[in-house]
Structure 1
Amino acid sequence: MTRDVEEHAQFETSAQVDPPSANERPLRATADAEVLDEVAQRVLWLATSIIDAANRGRENPDGIKVGGHQSSSASMVGIMTALYLTELTGRDRVSVKPHASPVLHALNYLLGDLEEKWLTTLRARGGLQPYPSRTKDPDTVDFSTGSVGIGATAPLWAALSHRHLADRFPATTPEAGRFISLLGDAELDEGAVWEAIIDPEVRGLGNVLWVVDLNRQSLDRVIPDVQIRRLQGMFGAADWQVLTVKWGRRLRELFARDGGELLERRMDQMPNGEYQRLLRSHPGEVRERILAGVGEDAEALAQLLAPLSDADLAEAVRDLGGHDLGRLTETFGEVSKDRPTVIFAYTIKGRGLATEGHPGNHAAQLTEDQMQDLAEASGMTLDDPWHRFAPDSAAGQLVAAAAQRLHREPVTDQPVPQVPAELGWSPKAVTSTQTQLGRLLSDMVRAAPQVAAHVATVSPDVATSTNLGGWINKSGVWSIAGRHDWFADDRERMLRWQEGRRGRHIELGIAEVNLVSLAGELGSLGQRWGRPLIPIGVLYDPFINRALEPWTFSLYAGGRSIIVGTPSGVTLAPEGGAHQSFNTPSATLEVPGLTSWEPAFAQDLEWTMLEAMRRLHLPESDGGEAAYFRLSTRPIEQSLAGVPDDPLLRERRRRQVVAGGYRMSEQPAAQDEVTLVGAGAIMPEVLRAAERLREMGVSAGVVCLTSPSRVFRSLQDRGRVAESRRSAIVDELFPAQAPAPLVTVLDGHPHTLAFLAGARGDRTRNLGVTEFGQASSMTQAHRIHGIDVESVVSAALDLTGRG
């Protein structure tokens, strides 16, 4: 078979070497085209019936539309049937476009991976999810999708993560097959897609395959111009193999006849809107519509079409490659082993349904009469919609063979390294939490080498500016290809940027979405392959907003990671408003399954980071969670922390730190006339304000929060002792028997700590950053935003009536 478009030139194969046998393909299953079509028709029926049962077949006391996507599913039926029945093995992992989840469940049902009882539960509580969910669906789902574009790129990062794992632990990492994305053409509008495909490391993934369902419709409209050649060129420029499956065999046979080039040119040049209108025309109108756009060649084209009846011609123009299962199977056989591949498969949205090709079919549901017609076409009935193929039938045997090929042996879980409570070294006298991050990772190589061996750091080109240089010097940079370090002999160079297959740091291009997506897949390695890693991603704190949605989605999908945002706040004064952050403490506090930390002191960072590593791979029932750290470049005198020397008191302090906060003032809480509460790099101002107040005769207590989110959860859990897994830290920090007005201070939005007013019902003033910043000195920035010492003192005096 010849390609519809030319492949782009191969690049250096030295950069494309895969792990041994990772790209070896099993013998491709052979199947009679009629049998494959029979299975595809049954899959179409089942997928459509799953949605129908959720809408017409279930009581709906709320009166709220249940929904589903029958037409979007229909366009994927041929692609997925050909892929699952003839191509996939148990080593492959597949991401299915969100709106095709019923097709996935239909296939899993036929393959014996889903019980019949689930088929009527789409979009019901505890049932089949609206979009594929790895953690919530009852059948095999390799990737959660639903956040458009993020599910499509996930297999890229899963492939990269597996390759990284195999390089570091070759003896215990199971082999992987292909990592496949099935995505809709509208998903190519997402910037995350292009950020992912152009990353330099991706070009070396020969076991990545994308199949684009090119149905040329989005939710609201027929897409005016898919610009297919432009898309092909963009993938090709990123060193992807590009294949296109445009026309089915029936049309291709017409094209091969005398005069067939006229029809091919007419079909190729037909705008998307006109083609979609052709699909909705009465068969008696199709010939006239085709000839109307030809001009002087109309007579010759009419002679070519003359032997075809109106019905045959109407069916012929629907013959697209994405519905030709034999053609798809052949194309799968042409996929490269040396680089990632994209297949553009032309399809019709709603193919085989009464809504076929209609511009408003996205959420359309078939009527009962239309379902009855589909049942007759599928050899099924509305009364018995779920029966499988007979085991001794050709279709039943084909499905059984695929089920056997897709069987997966359970992975062997490798033990998670025990993370120590602390590393045993004292921080420098004056340092920042950002500097301490780099030192902590470097110290871990000596103090806890087994833990360090499982750490994988990731950065979007900010590794050195976030202080990972020492860690990189000790651990190396991981790269599929490996590159020569031309500066290795430069004596003035502090950073040894040695790239190879055993490095522990992964450097990406400047794309925060790629960072958190890769971190999520690195965090899923234990679930997928039995060997957990500890992914730590670093980025500038204000840019977590850019990456928050994909990171949140990866947490929903079960891929936990630790992300560090540094530097942060208006304390980064000379950098100006572009790099000064304010809402990140509040935004990250609100994400489920995530604890946000903002330690002020180096020792606090060590304790909390080790705690976050320990919890990363625990079951959710045991407190397993992801973590976000907001760090600062501000050097702070570490003696201000007042870490006790006594081992018992030191351990007590550590427990408070990891619980969310601790009291810094020596006086008991009962003596507070006002309590100053701070977090992060603003603590020196808080402590100086307390001292000023004492000089004025106002007794001020000080609470240092390391994790506002943990304290918030503690407050939420109050009164639910029997169910709570949280610390009672809020009651320890703010005892009910010792009420006092609160002044909260944060180099971030004051909303973050406003909840503390509910701890005891205290009068509260919340100080923080509510305006965009500007370049200035740190002292000026704190004064501009009202988080300087004078502002804290004034707020305390106002609350105590001592002004």
Structure 2
Amino acid sequence: MTTAVPSPVPAAPSAPDDSPLAVLGQVEQRVRWLATAIVDHANRVRPNPTGLKVGGHQASSASMTSIMTALWFGALRPGDRVSVKPHASPVLHAVNYLLGELDERHLTTLREFGGLQSYPSRSKDPDPVDYSTGSVGIGATAPIWGALARRYLTTLGEQVGAGRQWSLVGDAELDEGAVWETVLDPMVAELGEVVWVVDLNRQSLDRVVPNIGATRLQGMFAAAGWQVLTVKYGALLESLFALPGGEALRRRIDEMPNPEYQRLLRCTPAQLRERLPEGQPDADALRDLVAGVDDATLHAAVRNLGGHDLQALGEAFEAIDDTRPTVVFAYTVKGFGLASEGHPQNHSSLLTAAQMADLAARSGVSVDAPWARFDADSPAGALCRETAQRLRRTTYDASPAPTLPADIGRTPTGTATTQAALGRTLLDLTREAPEAARRVVTVSPDVSSSTNLGGWVNKVGVWSPEQRRDWFDDDPETILHWRERPTGQHLELGIAETNLVGALGELGATWSRWGQPLLPIGVMYDPFVERALEPWSFGIYAGGQSILVGTPSGVSLAPEGGAHQSISTPSVGLEQPGCVTYEPAFAVEVEWTLLASLARLGRQDGTSAYLRLSTRPVDQSLAAVPADAAARERRRRQVVAGAYPLVRCDGEPAVTIATMGAVVPEALAAAERLASLGTPADVVVVTSPGLLFGAVQARAGREAVPYAEPWVLESAFPARRAAPLVTVLDGHPHTLAFLAGINRTRATHLGVTRFGQSGDLASVYRHHGIDADAVVAAALDLL
């Protein structure tokens, strides 16, 4: 016996056309149109003489349109910040345009030189962008570290307001390990202002994901202490579920594989009536239910997911618990509202001209005038105006970066390591420049003591939102005291380098977000710099200015073996945009380069820095630091600029040895032996190959590299003393190979090109050909 079902079932609860929900729906449709038109113009309208693919993501944007409309025009508050998933950047620009934050002339410039960026960019887009995204997983986690940075600022007494930190995340981004490293860090569970909204469209670039495992993902967030909210079905489907046979329909949709569901989105109503009951134990109930539903309603019902129901989204946002992080799983259809919706290959597909015309008609605009805003007197126009006023943010006056000394004046003696000099300099800074030192915040992935930060941590304490008891404070054998308090200046994260550099990026962006500069320093083992490089680089791109210290480094770690010996990091430092790299050889050089690097943070013209340090004990008298004040200052300027002459032989040199970092003693020993053989040698110590290369470029009239000083070339490598060149470092020889071009000399380049070996230092240096014997042999071969 069949059950009579009223027909048609309404697509949504009936509401007047001027009701708040209906007006919000009008805004949603206009945002969808604008986002689609922005991509269409870039690909089909704007001239493209080269024929190179422009690209863009209409389907990914349509997937997010409902979520972003409900957020901006409903739940968002002035102090909130939002990270938008990369492929939804046209939606962000469409919203900003309707709110008056973006001029119409920019809408035609997506992916054009100097125009709207392919993905949201804080530093390059002309409209407000809170977080740069584009590197999958990194933009998603950035607001967590943004929340941490703001909390840290408040403990300094700064008034930077409050608000939620939102991440609009594609479900495929949850495949990234960096996401789970962040979610699982114990510190994150305390950040109640963090809210993630997952666009659960169950498609990736190439396919429909067979099993997205939403239940498993929800459990993983819940286990990490997050509030988990799910918006799965819209009002139309919920109304069908309430009818006879409705529970069978709910079960059918819940249990079907993702690809089968996606296929339903491409079916005609007749095919839906056939497929939904097919092979089901309660097929009769399903067949009766769908038989009583008209074609238009049935077609709408299979795509009526909660992530496109503005009321359901609003209710979910109202249910957020601000005492813990929240994740909202919003089920969506990729390409919702477009002709390409639900197609497995719609990721980069473009609507045809006819399809665009149809979308324009449904959106109440004309393809000939695509950028129309709402009439100012209309309810939708009023909503845009009211939203813009509601979201107007407090502006923060930029505070100047703290004044730092250039030279504390210490001249280390005896034997010391550059790694130990890092902690020593930070402690000296607390005495010499306490106001600047108060802005320093160090971050470490569980390696504070092994990177010589123990004294600093004992001095300044560990940062925590609230005071916590140190249970080992009265233990006389405890050397490193873990005193957690709101005034602490050290952040300890778990063993996850991506978390460390994510935090660095946001701590280093407070100068541009809230006008309050911090001086963040992250310390990790140098072999893991490459693991952290991509997210750190992305943080620099987004405006985060910080110092990354890699230590210990190179094959000078001899007993540790090849797995812990970094080879290519000197070259990485040379090539990383927005970063000055230093590899000091002596303790005093650590002080000078660190102070110079700190002085470049938190400024409009600032830059990040990477310091590569060593645990090799070195006789500090080899540095021959001048006692005369003027000569000392000259040496300091040379060190900060990238190189200085350490040995100048009498008369003209037969060979120049350019060296860097831990192997400077080998270079000096080689020069002494060469002199005894009648082959006089100059020794030049390189502290920053990147700045030297920038000086070479600047001298040739090419693009200027920030902080590169052309004068240092003549200071360190004067043309009058040009001679065949041997370069040697504990790293890849490519790093210093360009030095031969300064004076166009013949050269041999020594360094490390193979995985290392365990052993004593002399054996390992000999194995890689960077010991004094190898330098002498290379010099004699050149001559």
SS of 2:118's partner is coil
Does residue 286 of structure 1 match 2:272?
yes
> Take 2:708 and 2:522, find their aligned partners in 1: how far apart are those partners?
26
Post-superposition CA distance 1:725-778 (Å, at most 9, x none): 631212322222332011100000001001111111111110001110121001
> Take 2:487 and 2:775, find their aligned partners in 1: how far apart are those partners?
50
> Take 1:719 and 1:535, find their aligned partners in 2: how far apart are those partners?
34
Residue 686 of structure 2 is matched in structure 1 by: 705
Q: Where do residues 633-782 of structure 1 align in structure 2 (5 Å cutoff)?
A: 633-667=615-649, 671-720=652-701, 726-728=708-710, 729-782=712-765
Does residue 586 of structure 1 match 2:571?
yes
Greater shift, 720-729 or 393-402, is seen at 720-729
- Which amino acid in the other structure matches residue 119 of structure 2? Y
User: Post-superposition shift, 1:723?
Assistant: 6.2
SS of 2:365's partner is coil
User: Post-superposition shift, 1:426?
Assistant: 2.7
Among 410, 414, 417, which residue is 1:425 paired with? 410
CA contact (8 A) 2:153 2:160 kept: no
CA RMSD of aligned residues (A): 1.3
Q: Where do residues 366-765 of structure 1 align in structure 2 (5 Å cutoff)?
A: 366-620=351-605, 624-667=606-649, 671-720=652-701, 726-728=708-710, 729-765=712-748
CA contact (8 A) 1:286 1:310 kept: no
Greater shift, 473-482 or 139-148, is seen at 473-482
SS of 1:686's partner is helix
Residue 11 of structure 2 is matched in structure 1 by: none
User: Post-superposition shift, 1:481?
Assistant: 4.5
> Take 2:375 and 2:467, find their aligned partners in 1: how far apart are those partners?
53
> Take 2:87 and 2:607, find their aligned partners in 1: how far apart are those partners?
29
- Which amino acid in the other structure matches residue 636 of structure 1? V
Greater shift, 421-430 or 460-469, is seen at 421-430
> Take 1:163 and 1:499, find their aligned partners in 2: how far apart are those partners?
15
> Take 2:266 and 2:467, find their aligned partners in 1: how far apart are those partners?
54
Q: Percent identity?
A: 59
Post-superposition CA distance 1:653-698 (Å, at most 9, x none): 1111111010011336x61100011000110111011001111111
Among 201, 217, 220, which residue is 1:234 paired with? 220
CA contact (8 A) 2:401 2:603 kept: no
- Which amino acid in the other structure matches residue 84 of structure 1? W
CA contact (8 A) 2:733 2:749 kept: yes
Post-superposition CA distance 1:456-501 (Å, at most 9, x none): 0000000110000110011000123443211111011111110111
> Take 1:798 and 1:584, find their aligned partners in 2: how far apart are those partners?
28
CA contact (8 A) 1:287 1:310 kept: no
Does residue 80 of structure 1 match 2:68?
yes
> Take 1:723 and 1:454, find their aligned partners in 2: how far apart are those partners?
30
Residue 785 of structure 1 is matched in structure 2 by: 768
Post-superposition CA distance 1:145-187 (Å, at most 9, x none): 00000000000000011111111x22x3211200000010000
TM superposition score normalised by structure 2 = 0.96
> Take 1:479 and 1:283, find their aligned partners in 2: how far apart are those partners?
58
> Take 2:91 and 2:38, find their aligned partners in 1: how far apart are those partners?
9
SS of 1:71's partner is helix
> Take 1:794 and 1:647, find their aligned partners in 2: how far apart are those partners?
38
> Take 1:180 and 1:317, find their aligned partners in 2: how far apart are those partners?
29
> Take 1:523 and 1:544, find their aligned partners in 2: how far apart are those partners?
18
5+ unaligned residues in a row in structure 1: which ranges?
A: 1-29
Residue 240 of structure 2 is matched in structure 1 by: 254
Instruction: Give aligned pairs, total.
Output: 764
TM superposition score normalised by structure 1 = 0.94
- Which amino acid in the other structure matches residue 734 of structure 1? F
Residue 179 of structure 2 is matched in structure 1 by: 193
User: Post-superposition shift, 1:67?
Assistant: 1.0
> Take 1:240 and 1:405, find their aligned partners in 2: how far apart are those partners?
29
> Take 2:776 and 2:762, find their aligned partners in 1: how far apart are those partners?
16
User: Post-superposition shift, 1:310?
Assistant: 2.3
Does residue 348 of structure 1 match 2:330?
no
- Which amino acid in the other structure matches residue 696 of structure 1? L
User: Post-superposition shift, 1:326?
Assistant: 0.5
User: Post-superposition shift, 1:282?
Assistant: 1.6
> Take 1:425 and 1:213, find their aligned partners in 2: how far apart are those partners?
56
CA contact (8 A) 1:266 1:293 kept: no
Q: 1:304 to 1:158 in 2, by over 3 A?
A: same
User: Post-superposition shift, 1:722?
Assistant: 10
Among 129, 135, 140, which residue is 1:141 paired with? 129
Residue 6 of structure 1 is matched in structure 2 by: none
User: Post-superposition shift, 1:433?
Assistant: 0.4
- Which amino acid in the other structure matches residue 475 of structure 1? V
> Take 1:420 and 1:721, find their aligned partners in 2: how far apart are those partners?
32
5+ unaligned residues in a row in structure 2: which ranges?
A: 1-17
Among 92, 103, 128, which residue is 1:115 paired with? 103
> Take 1:764 and 1:719, find their aligned partners in 2: how far apart are those partners?
21
Spell out structure 1 runs of 4+ moving beyond 3 A. 721-725
CA contact (8 A) 1:31 1:86 kept: no
SS of 2:42's partner is helix
Among 295, 310, 318, which residue is 1:333 paired with? 318
Post-superposition CA distance 1:209-242 (Å, at most 9, x none): 0000000000000000000011001101100000
> Take 2:581 and 2:39, find their aligned partners in 1: how far apart are those partners?
39
Does residue 58 of structure 1 match 2:46?
yes
Does residue 264 of structure 1 match 2:229?
no
> Take 1:180 and 1:329, find their aligned partners in 2: how far apart are those partners?
15
> Take 1:316 and 1:293, find their aligned partners in 2: how far apart are those partners?
21
User: Post-superposition shift, 1:427?
Assistant: 2.0
